[in-house]
Structure 1
Amino acid sequence: MTVKTTRGPVTAPTWEYTIDGTSVRLTRVAGDPSAVVRVTPPPRDASHPHEGLAVESATITTTGSELTVAFTGVPGPSSKPCGADYGAEAAESDLAVVVIVIEYRHAKDEACPAIGAQRSATVELSRPLGIGRSSR
C-alpha cells in the first residue's frame, strides 16, 4: 500500500484483514515486531496536563532541523476567551521522531463551542532528519 510520510509517499508491504459476516477490510503496514521503535516522551509536569493533539501532517525545512506539524485546534489565541496557543516537543531516537503538540488554553474549564481550525506548531530537532539516524 502507499503510505504518506514527511518525505512523500512510499510503498510498504501490507497485511489485509477481513471481519467475518461484514464487508469491512482492515489494512496494516506489515512490519517485523522485533523492529518496533520505542520512544520515551519528555517528562510531563503540572504545567502540561493535557494529552497531545493528533498531528494531521508535517513538513520539514530544507535543512531538516525544524519540523512543523499541522493539526485541528481552537480558532483563537490564548489571549482571547476559548482560545489556545500551541507548542511542540520532540522525542527523538535513531529510528524515529515523535512530535507532541501541547495546548495552552485561555482558561481552564471554559464552556466553549466545538469549533476547529487549522493550526500548526514548530519544533527544533536536536539534529536534522536523516543525519545520524538509522535508515531501517
Structure 2
Amino acid sequence: MELSEALFSLLHSVRNNISQQVKISDIDLSLMHLKSLKMISMIDECTGQKITEFMGRDKAQVNRLIKELVNQELVIKTDNVNDGRSQILSLSARGNECIKKFKIIENQVTSKMAKDIAPEDIENFIRLAKIFKMNLMK
C-alpha cells in the first residue's frame, strides 16, 4: 500500500466512524457544523476569517455556515473591539453542550483506533503527521 492510499483509507475510516457515532447520538448536526463549532471553541478571538483560513473553504460558504450556527443558537457573535469590521464568535451554552458530546465521540473513535498500539508509536505517528502537514505548507 502506498502512503497516499494509507492516508486516504485512514481518513475515510475515521470520518465514517465519527459520522456513524454522531448519527446514533442526539446531536442533530453535520460533521461540517461540528468541526466549525470545535474550531470556534479552540481558536482565541475566533472570527469568520480565521475559520475560512483554517478550513481552507470559500468565505461565502463559511459565512453561510456561521449564519446557520447563529440561527440555531449554537454560536454567539459579539463586536470585535480590536477591529470594527469583524465579529468574535463564541459558543453558546447549547453549542458547548454539542461540543462536549462531540468530543466524547471523537475520543471513543480515537481510542478504538489506537487500541493495542504502543504509546511511543502513537507519538511517532503524531510527529510524522506534523511533518507531513508542514511539508505541504511549504
More strand by share: 1
TM-score, normalization by structure 2: 0.26
TM, length-normalised to structure 1:
0.27
Structure with greater helix percent: 2
Larger Rg: 1
